[in-house]
Chains A and B, each alone.
Chain A
Amino acid sequence: LAKTTQPISMDSYEGQEVNITCSHNNIATNDYITWYQQFPSQGPRFIIQGYKTKVTNEVASLFIPADRKSSTLSLPRVSLSDTAVYYCLVIGGFKTIFGAGTRLFVKA
């Protein structure tokens, strides 16, 4: 399973766009890129998933270049409630391996 590398932490201010980049150099052909969000004392929550190019939903956008060796989660206009840990996962099939995640802290 592909290993992912992402920043340990990031700071932002309310109303800013936040981009979190994840590296997954040995991603396999059948792997998907998935992002989860976790608040303290809660289980991880699915944000977005993609295979290539760009995916957008009501919460975020996911940008994946042609070589798929990295991806960028984009959170538009963050608020204080977006303070959480964000996990980038590369998943083929069912097995899910979590890395350390990126701790995003949104300040007023």
Chain B
Amino acid sequence: EAGVTQFPSHSVIEKGQTVTLRCDPISGHDNLYWYRRVMGKEIKFLLHFVKESKQDESGMPNNRFLAERTGGTYSTLKVQPAELEDSGVYFCASSPPLAGGPNEQFFGPGTRLTVL
């Protein structure tokens, strides 16, 4: 079974440009999460989808970030316009429907974003 995949693996853009990151969760996983780690900091939660609905977007840093999950399958995270402080590694994770306790989240390899 394929794991969580993310595209691209690396992205280098200039300040002010737009970048779209994609995440394909494990098939059948209703829950999809986005996290990011900026240089030297801890992994931070960004948001959580249940199918196509945003369950919790309390971690989104500002309105330059837009996450979507059309049809409840893959998800995209768009940064527009990108700023220098957006550089970091963006992780996506997915988990099956909750059943009796927190689910194991399966993480993708991450997208390393560099904003110059």
* Residue B110 is within 8 A (CB to CB) of chain A in the complex: yes
A-facing mask of B61-80, CB < 8 A → 1, else 0? 00000000000000000000
B-facing mask of A9-38, CB < 8 A → 1, else 0? 000000000000000000000001010000
Q: How far is the CA of A38 from the CA of B21 in the complex (A)?
A: 21
Task: Point out the residues of chain A lying under 8 angstroms from B101, CB to CB.
Answer: 32, 49, 51
Q: Do A43 and B107 touch (CB < 8 A)?
A: yes
Which one of B48, B91, B98, B103 lies within 8 Å of A43 (CB-CB)? Answer: B91
**Secondary structure class of chain A's binding surface, majority of residues:** loop
Interface segment, A65-73, A75-83, A89-97?
Answer: A89-97
* Residue A7 is within 8 A (CB to CB) of chain B in the complex: no
Number of interface residues of B (CB under 8 A): 25
Number of interface residues of A (CB under 8 A): 22
Interface centre among B43, B44, B48, B107 (most CB of A within 10 A): B43
With A34-B102, A96-B105 as contacts: A43 and B4 at CB distance below 8 Å: yes
* Residue B93 is within 8 A (CB to CB) of chain A in the complex: yes
Q: Do B45 and A95 touch (CB < 8 A)?
A: yes
* Residue B106 is within 8 A (CB to CB) of chain A in the complex: yes
Q: How far is the CA of A43 from the CA of B48 in the complex (A)?
A: 17
Residues of A within 8 A of B (CB): 32, 34, 41-46, 49, 51, 87, 91-101
Considering the complex of A and B, which 8 residue pairs feature the smallest CB-CB distances, nearest first?
Answer: A43-B107, A98-B43, A91-B102, A46-B104, A43-B91, A32-B102, A44-B107, A98-B42
